Amino acid sequence: MTTPNKQAAGRIPSGSVSVPVWSKLQSQIHQAFDFGKSNRRFLIFPAVVFAALFLFTALGISGSSSPLLAKDAGSSDTVIIGIPRSIRSDEWIVHTPMVVSQVENGQPRYGNVGVGSHDMSVLSDLPVADWTRIFHPNHWAYGILPINNAHAFDWWSIAAGLLLGTYAFLLAVLGSLRWSIVGAIALYGSPFLHWWYTGSTFGSIGWMAFAGACLLLAVTSSGRRRIVVALLASYFLTCFALNLYPPFQIAAGIGVGIVTAGALWPRWREGLATLRSIITAVVIAVGVALVPIGAFLVTRRPAMHAISQTVYPGARVVSGGELPWHQLFSSWFGLNYVTNGSNLRGVIFPNESEGSSFLLLGVLLLVPLPLVWRFIAPLGDRLRGVIIASTIAMALFLTQMFVGLPSIVAKLTFLSIVPERRALIGLGFASMMLIVAVGSSLERLSVPTLARRFAGVVLVMASAAGVIGLAQDFRAVDAPVGNKMIAVALLAAVGIGALYFWRPFVSVCLIAAFGLVVSLPANPLVNGLSQTRDSAVVSMARELAAEPGETGAWIGETYFIASMLTAAGVQNLSGVNLYPNVPAWELIDPDHEYENEWNRYSQAVWSFDTSSKAPVVRLIQADMIEVIINPCDPVLDKFNVRHLVTPWRMQGSCLSSPTEVVGPDGVPAYFYERNPVGTPSTEGWEVR
SS3 readout for 242-309: CCCCHHHHHHHHHHHHHHHHHHHHHHHHCCCCCHHHHHHHHHHHHHHHHHHHHHHHHHCHHHHHHHHC
Banded model confidence at residue 5, pLDDT cuts 50, 70, 90: very low
Task: Please state which of the ranges 53-57, 85-89, 493-497, 517-521 shows the lowest mean pLDDT.
Answer: 85-89
Residue 578 has pLDDT above 60, yes or no: yes
Say which amino acid occupies 216: L
Is residue 525 within a helix (H) or strand (E), and if so which, with residue range? strand 525-527
**Residues 6 or more apart from 421 whose CB is under 8 A from it?**
323, 327, 354
- Other C-beta atoms closer than 10 Å to the C-beta of 223 total 7
Q: How far is CA 666 from CA 93, 97, 626, in A?
A: 17, 19, 24
Q: How far apart are CA 603 and CA 97, in angstroms?
A: 13
3-class DSSP state of 565: helix
Q: What pTM does this model have?
A: 0.92
| Under 8 Å between Cβ of 591 and 570 | no
Residue 151 has pLDDT above 80, yes or no: yes
**Mean pLDDT on 143-161:** 97
pLDDT, tens digit, for every residue of 314-334? Answer: 888 999 999 999 999 999 999
pLDDT, tens digit, for every residue of 467-507? Answer: 999 999 999 998 888 889 999 999 999 999 999 999 999 99
Say which amino acid occupies 428: G
* DSSP assignment of 446-474: --BHHHHHHHHHHHHHHHHHHHHHHHHHH
| Under 8 Å between Cβ of 352 and 504 | no
Q: How far is CA 562 from CA 31, 88, 604, in A?
A: 54, 17, 9
Number of helices (H), then strands (E), belonging to the chain: the values are 28, 12
* DSSP assignment of 637-658: GGGTEEEEEESS----TTB---
Residue 232 has pLDDT above 90, yes or no: yes
| Under 8 Å between Cβ of 209 and 227 | no
* DSSP assignment of 178-242: HHHHHHHHHHHT-HHHHHT-SHHHHHHHHHHHHHHHHHHHHHT--HHHHHHHHHHHHHHHHHHHT
Q: How far apart are CA 115 and CA 588, in angstroms?
A: 9
Banded model confidence at residue 603, pLDDT cuts 50, 70, 90: confident
Query: What's the mean per-residue pLDDT of the chain?
Result: 91
pLDDT, tens digit, for every residue of 251-281? Answer: 999 999 999 999 999 999 888 899 999 999 9
Residue 33 has pLDDT above 80, yes or no: no
- What backbone torsions phi and psi does residue 62 show, to the nearest 5 degrees? -130, -175
- Other C-beta atoms closer than 10 Å to the C-beta of 533 total 22
Q: Which residue has the higher pLDDT, 218 or 483?
A: 218
**Residues 6 or more apart from 242 whose CB is under 8 A from it?**
132, 135, 136, 292, 293, 296
- Other C-beta atoms closer than 10 Å to the C-beta of 58 total 12
Beta bridge partners, 661, equal: 669
| Under 8 Å between Cβ of 401 and 323 | yes
Q: How far apart are CA 251 and CA 243, in angstroms?
A: 13
Q: How far apart are CA 467 and CA 493, in angstroms?
A: 8
| Under 8 Å between Cβ of 362 and 432 | yes
